[in-house]
Each structure stands twice: as structure tokens, then as C-alpha cells.
Amino acid sequence: MAEVSGLSINIEVIESMASIAALEVAGVDSLAARNIDLKKAVSGKSVFKAVRAEVKNGAVIINVYIRLAKDANAKQVAEAVQGNVKDKVQTMTGNAITGVNVYVADVIIEEEN
């Protein structure tokens, strides 16, 4: 749970907000399930998540794994994802987002017929 001005927000809700914000960015084909969490594997929860958020000292750090669309500029898309995720999640929660780490996990390349 993330504590926001006396309001508790489930971390999965923050991850959902970040997912939506990342997918809004042009050049993002989809999210990539690359992040493994062994603690959640033991508890039976989802271990492969494309977005992982964690709260440290009241601030939120978000890791986003994306798949780039064909011909997208990785640097520009990653920077746009960072900005959009930070802006949207901060605006919706009022909580400080100290970092958004974007990992390009895959690039979509269409096969020629």
C-alpha cells in the first residue's frame, strides 16, 4: 500500500495507472512481462509483471518493461514513457514519483510474407 495524504492506495492500482500511461505513448507496441518477483512466486501471486512499483520512504519507484513498435526510436519512446507515467501517476495519486525506469524488453519486427 502507498500512503497518500492519509489515503492508502493499493500498489497494484498504482501499477495499473502506470500501465495505462505507458501504453498511451506512441511507439510502445505493448507491455512486456519480464520482471520476476520471487517473493510473489512463493505466495502464488503473479510473478511476471510488465510494471512493478515499490514504495520507499513515502516515494514511489516504478519499473516499466515495454515492447517497441517497429521503427520507433528507443530513446525518445523511453523518455516519453518516463514523463507520461510520472505525470499521470503523480496527478492521480498526489504521491511523489522519484523514478520511472523504462526497460526495452523487445522490439516488434514484422515478418515479410
Q: Please write the tens of the pLDDT for every residue from 60-104.
A: 899 999 999 999 999 999 999 999 999 999 999 888 899 999 999
Residue 90 resides in a domain: yes
Provide the b/e sequence for 30-46 (b: ≥16 CB within 10 Å).
ebbebbeeeeeeeeeee
Domain that holds residue 29: 2-107
Contact indicator for 53, 14 with CB cutoff of 8 Å: yes
Contact indicator for 1, 13 with CB cutoff of 8 Å: no
pLDDT at 41 over 70: no
Domain count, the chain: 1
CATH code assigned at 49: 3.30.70.1350
Contact indicator for 101, 62 with CB cutoff of 8 Å: yes
Paired with 59 in beta bridges are 56
